[in-house]
Structure 1
Amino acid sequence: MTQLADDITSARRSRTAAGLLLAVVSAASFGLSGPLASGMFATGWSPGAVVLARIGIAAVVVAPFGALAMRGHWHKLRTHARQVLLYGLLATAGAQFCYFAAVATMDVAPALLIEYTAPAAVVAWLWIRQGQRPTRLTVAGAALAALGLVLVLDLLSGANLAWAGVAWSLAAMVGATSYFLISADTGNGLPPVALAGAGLTIGALALGALALIGVLPMHASTRPAAYATGSVAWWIPLLLLGFVTAALAYIAGIVASRRLGSRVASFVALLEVVAGVLFAWLLRDQLPGTAQVAGGLLIIAGVVLVKLGDPPPAG
């Protein structure tokens, strides 16, 4: 009996370790998107064109594998069609479109800060809807992570704030919250690659529709994109955006959320901001300051406290 209990404990630890690793991979992949895209913006690409190409490429890559994973189980997709539709519209297209709409009217830093209140929204949702009251460690971890986020985004130096941008950022936060909650749902029986493929496809179609009616301005260029490491052909960052910052990021994020739960996964995702700062340093030669480094350490400490405060799985 003792051996069985030890085996179960060991399996849970292994599952958690794998989940944390995948969550970090997802956060780092998402964090690469901003510095990569900024090099394309400088050549004439519009944010709408970049996000549509990014999601579209990822959908083409992931959807076939999702279809293979669903062979003999298509009824699950039909049964959970509403959830999948919400994932595609809110977690994929909605979060992306609303974030870019926000940064069109306000500074990037406050827009990111508002969007990344999503972990707090996840905690509140789980408390209100499922009765999962946060522990003191969770609250302390959330406070540390929030302080770290303020330092990483350098908000103390002052930033442009517009009410329209705030509204768009809050809408992006809703999309991000839905991403963590739906990704962590293990009850729908959908393989992670199938959920990612369906969500990316729906998201790409929704963004394409917005582009067709003129809501999403589309401008592209074939000029080389310049980075700190040198200039590269325009299609190289575009493929990286599709394969790494979308396809890999979404699949890894879904698997991580199912292993860790939406609460812990959403706080680990704050490392995306830290990764974004590091990639901006490497690719755009934007050196992080002392406050940003300290903020990154606070975010990591906050994530650790949130994980320690997470209730153990039942059974």
Structure 2
Amino acid sequence: MKRPSMTVGLAIAVVAALTFGTSGVFIKPVLEAGWSPAAAVTVRALVGGIVLAPFAIASLRGSWAALWRARWRITLMALIGVAGTQLAYFAAIQRIPVGTAVLIEYLSPLLLVVFVCVRSRALPKAVVLVGSVLALVGIVLVVSPGGAAALDPIGLVLALAAMVGCAIYYVVAAQPSDGLPPVALAGFGLLLGGVLLGIIGATGLVPFTATFGEVGFFGGVAPWWVPLAFVGVVSTAIAYATSITASEILGSRIASFAGQLEVVAATVFAWLLLGETLSIAQLIGGALIVAGIVFVRLEKTASGQVDAALEPFEPVGLPAPGVPAGSARLVE
């Protein structure tokens, strides 16, 4: 079977970024109504997993052996891609500004570049270095973390943990499928991750509160389940399935750079739906992120090969995971 082209992979990655980017504007009203981040993420993951479950089962076509072979990949996706990264991020934003936490988490593509350099003992090509710098400057402009006050060291460590978790997510998502369809990895990973988050919340390790009345919703009111249902279906089920599909096509490095478009998408949605200001600096930052992706894509085109330094965590053939609207993802 012919492998999809890089152009198709990038198109799917854009869909993933757009759908992930909607989470902020829809989850924000729920959090403002009294939901704790852990409770909102748990419901989101479970709804997304339940929505994808029929498609995941159908995609296996009775090949349960493929599911068993991928048990560790699914477990890593659930533990790190769904539960661990999100919990680390939300714990971080309780101690440091959201913009700072998002900026640190979105350094994950640069972490992958550094990892490749260390493992291969070779410097990346000039286009990758240029793309990395452009993307980094773009994220700083889009997120615009403010304030020069001293930062909580524990919050910084948690943000760094989220960054590592985000990088691992892309590596796990980019693994060779070995017969496991992307929708199956997304569906079963979300279900397992949601269950794990629920258990963690039940133990009291993280705040776990929820309210079940009406919430403020784009100038009006709506039942609490309306924004959560949207996030569960669009920002989670569709987002994870397309993100994993794109990662299997593009590889972890390009997919992680393309994932930075989520920062731009979240900011634009906040501008369109919440009326939050979109500054000239943010527009420039979005353009720089796109330029950075183009440069990294050029290196892939020139080499025609995947990152050997990431094998076996690179496809032969991406989350998560969030941030309040106007800053970036609310739940990655």
What is the TM-score normalised by the length of structure 2? 0.86
Cα distance, 1:76–1:175 mapped onto 2, change above 3 Å: same
C-alpha separation between the residues in 2 aligned to 1:252 and 1:227?
A: 27
In structure 1, what is the equivalent of residue 131 of structure 2? 141
Q: Percent identity?
A: 40
Counterpart selection for 2:304 from 277, 290, 312: 312
In structure 1, what is the equivalent of residue 321 of structure 2? none
Cα distance, 1:224–1:150 mapped onto 2, change above 3 Å: same
Counterpart selection for 1:216 from 206, 210, 213: 206
Deviation of 1:50 after TM superposition, in Å, equals: 0.8
Cα distance, 1:95–1:159 mapped onto 2, change above 3 Å: farther
Mapping for residues 78-157 of structure 1, pairs under 5 Å: 78-129=68-119, 134-155=124-145
In structure 1, what is the equivalent of residue 329 of structure 2? none
Contact 1:46 1:219 in 2 (8 A): yes
Q: What does the per-residue CA deviation read over 1:65-90, in whole Å, with 9 as the maximum and x for residues that have no partner?
A: 21222243222222232222111101
C-alpha separation between the residues in 1 aligned to 2:223 and 2:128?
A: 45
C-alpha separation between the residues in 1 aligned to 2:41 and 2:177?
A: 30
Mapping for residues 119-268 of structure 1, pairs under 5 Å: 119-129=109-119, 134-155=124-145, 158=148, 161-228=151-218, 230-268=220-258
What is the TM-score normalised by the length of structure 1? 0.90
C-alpha separation between the residues in 2 aligned to 1:198 and 1:182?
A: 14
Q: What does the per-residue CA deviation read over 1:31-72, in whole Å, with 9 as the maximum and x for residues that have no partner?
A: 111221111111111111111110010111112321222243
Contact 1:90 1:174 in 2 (8 A): no
In structure 1, what is the equivalent of residue 22 of structure 2? 32
Contact 2:202 2:208 in 1 (8 A): no
What stretches of structure 1 of length at least 5 have no aligned partner? 1-10
What stretches of structure 2 of length at least 5 have no aligned partner? 307-316, 318-332
The farther-off stretch of 275-284 and 159-168 is 159-168
C-alpha separation between the residues in 2 aligned to 1:131 and 1:76?
A: 35
Q: Secondary structure at the match of 1:106?
A: coil
Q: What does the per-residue CA deviation read over 1:281-304, in whole Å, with 9 as the maximum and x for residues that have no partner?
A: 122221111111111111111111
Deviation of 1:133 after TM superposition, in Å, equals: 5.4
In structure 2, what is the equivalent of residue 273 of structure 1? 263
Counterpart selection for 2:289 from 292, 299, 305: 299
RMSD of the alignment, in Å?
2.2
Deviation of 1:160 after TM superposition, in Å, equals: 6.3
Contact 1:106 1:160 in 2 (8 A): no
Q: Secondary structure at the match of 2:22?
A: helix
Cα distance, 1:130–1:205 mapped onto 2, change above 3 Å: farther
Counterpart selection for 2:53 from 50, 63, 68: 63
Counterpart selection for 1:54 from 34, 39, 44: 44
Q: One-letter code of the match for 2:12?
A: L
Q: One-letter code of the match for 2:203?
A: I
Deviation of 1:184 after TM superposition, in Å, equals: 1.1
Q: How many pairs are equivalent?
A: 305
Q: Secondary structure at the match of 1:60?
A: helix
C-alpha separation between the residues in 2 aligned to 1:164 and 1:35?
A: 28
